[in-house]
Structures are given as C-alpha cells and as structure tokens.
C-alpha cells in the first residue's frame, strides 16, 4: 500500500491486435497529474475525446469490459486496467488510435513488464483508499461476490467449469505490486474452441489465436506450450477482477471473495457497492507496505 499517488515515469508504447476487431492498434500510455485518474483518449476521432475508466461509464460486459460516452467507445480495457491497478498506478492517460485495447499475449504481462521497465514515480498527493467497515454481498443465479473488512488488499476466487482441464479451482492473493507480477500478471485469457468459432461467425474474436489465449477443445488444451501455471484459469479470473474493481476509481482495503463471477456480475457488484455507502469510507493510509 502506498501513501502517495503514482504515475509512469515516462510514456510507453504498445502495438498489437484487438481481440475482437482484429485491427492493429497503437496504444501509448502517458504520465498524468495527481487526481487525474486513468483515462482513455481516442486520438483517431475528431477532437480526440477522452473518457474516464469508471464503472458508471461501462456500457457492455458481455464479452469484454467496454466503456462509452457521447457515442464513442473503448473496448477490452480489463487487462490494461489490471496491470495499472496491480502496479499501483493512479494517474495515466491511455491514447488509442482505434476503439479496442490490443490483446498482446492475452495477459497483462507485456503491459506490466514495459511499464515496470519505464519506471513508476511518486506524486505529491495522498493516495485514498476505500476502507471496508462492514460486509457487502451480492448473490444471484449461482454466482456470488462479497467484500469484508481487512487490513490489506486480498482477493479470493473460486471457479467451476465442466471441463477436465479446469474443474474447480481456488486461489487467494494478497495483492501487492510484486505478487501481481509474480502470480497473476502473466495468466492468459482462455476460451473454448466451439465458442471461438461461434464468435467468428458473428464477426467477433477476429484477433484471437493460440498466441494470445489458452484455447480448450473437448479433450484438453490446444496450446503446444501448455499452461503457464497449473491453475492459470483461476489466476486469470483474478486478473480480470482486479481490472473490473479498479473501475471504482480507488483501491480497496478489504477482502474480496468471488464465486463463479465474471465481468458482468462483477459490474453488478460495483453498483451494489456504491449503494452500500455505510459499509465503507474513503481514507488515506498511515504506513506504506508495497513489497
């Protein structure tokens, strides 16, 4: 946990394909001043409009997290948002020359490694946190998300899939910069071969391949190199959730627990979170802990 806000030491650039559009996209992430937050800018559009990465800007969560405002969108922001949150970066502007963030290798690793190499700097402004003071829970259709008081940033996740390579997986992470990089950042998105074929028939998933996703057929994993972790699937779900929860605008001090949740249900929980204003407060922290 950091006492002061942080931003990038210098701009970084990425070039890659959009997962669903298949278009080549240029992404440049630049430092931003204190209290700016994380914002996306469409430099390909007239006026170069900018949009905040806040949960109330989310317009779709069916296949990826999509934010939109005034008729323009930015799609598939979750891995980049997870990387920025995992590295405790509070302020940055992400410039795009198309509507979809590049998928890179299907994880947050490329973003994380490049940003870490460029460096992160402390800013002269206090970093505020959502401090959880009472439990909040949402449960529906066999899915559940809850959060309870805790001294650090903890995430527990359980997933269940009727597939021999996944079945039930559980993982708990004490989130710091180093644990994100070591345990979560390189976990790739995953999908099932039959679903990918379905998406392509409808003009989606054009940029997806074995180079940027773990793909499963009915028998097992199709990627020649196999998995990066034995439980890469649940680790990636935690990566996604870090990106989703970053849309609250400030980090959470508490213990998040997820059960069979995804982008859509995480977003439903964020709306519930803001309804339960008596269950949290915003506050700086007195001591720094970020190893």
User: What are the residue numbers of the active site?
Assistant: 263
Q: Give 123's DSSP letter.
A: E
Bridge partner residues of 9 (DSSP): none
* SS3 label, residue 168: strand
Centroid of chain to Cα 167: 23
Q: Which helix (H) or strand (E) holds 275?
A: helix 263-275
Spatial distance between the Cα atoms of 109 and 186, rounded to a whole number of angstroms: 5
Spatial distance between the Cα atoms of 89 and 210, rounded to a whole number of angstroms: 30
Listed in sequence order, the residues at least 6 apart from 112 whose beta carbon sits closer than 8 Å to its beta carbon are 83, 86, 87, 180, 181, 185
């Amino acid at each position: 946990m950091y006492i002061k806000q942080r931003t990038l030491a210098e701009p970084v650039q990425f070039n890659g394909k959009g997962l669903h559009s298949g278009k080549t996209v240029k992404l440049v992430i630049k430092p931003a001043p204190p209290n700016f937050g994380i914002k996306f800018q469409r430099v390909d559009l007239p006026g170069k409009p900018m949009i905040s990465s806040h949960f109330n800007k989310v317009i779709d969560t069916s296949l990826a997290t999509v934010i939109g405002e005034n008729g323009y969108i930015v799609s598939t922001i979750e891995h980049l948002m997870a990387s920025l949150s995992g590295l405790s970066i509070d302020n940055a502007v992400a410039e795009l020359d198309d509507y979809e963030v590049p998928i890179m290798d299907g994880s947050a690793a490329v973003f994380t490694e490049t940003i870490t190499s460029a460096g992160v700097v402390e800013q002269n402004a206090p970093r505020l946190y959502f401090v959880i003071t009472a439990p909040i829970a949402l449960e529906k259709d066999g899915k559940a998300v809850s959060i309870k008081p805790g001294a650090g940033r903890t995430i527990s996740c359980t997933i269940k899939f009727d597939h021999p390579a996944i079945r039930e997986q559980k993982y708990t992470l004490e989130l710091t910069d180093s644990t994100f990089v070591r345990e979560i950042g390189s976990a790739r998105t995953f999908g099932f071969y039959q679903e990918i074929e379905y998406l392509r028939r409808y003009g989606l998933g054009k940029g997806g391949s074995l180079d940027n996703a773990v793909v499963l057929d009915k028998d097992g994993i199709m990627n020649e190199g196999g998995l990066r972790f034995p439980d890469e699937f649940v680790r990636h779900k935690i990566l996604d959730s870090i990106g989703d929860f970053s849309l609250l605008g400030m980090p959470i001090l508490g213990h998040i627990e997820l059960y069979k949740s995804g982008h859509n249900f995480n977003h439903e929980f964020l709306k519930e979170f803001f309804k339960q204003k008596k269950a949290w407060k915003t506050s700086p922290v007195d001591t720094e802990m970020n190893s």
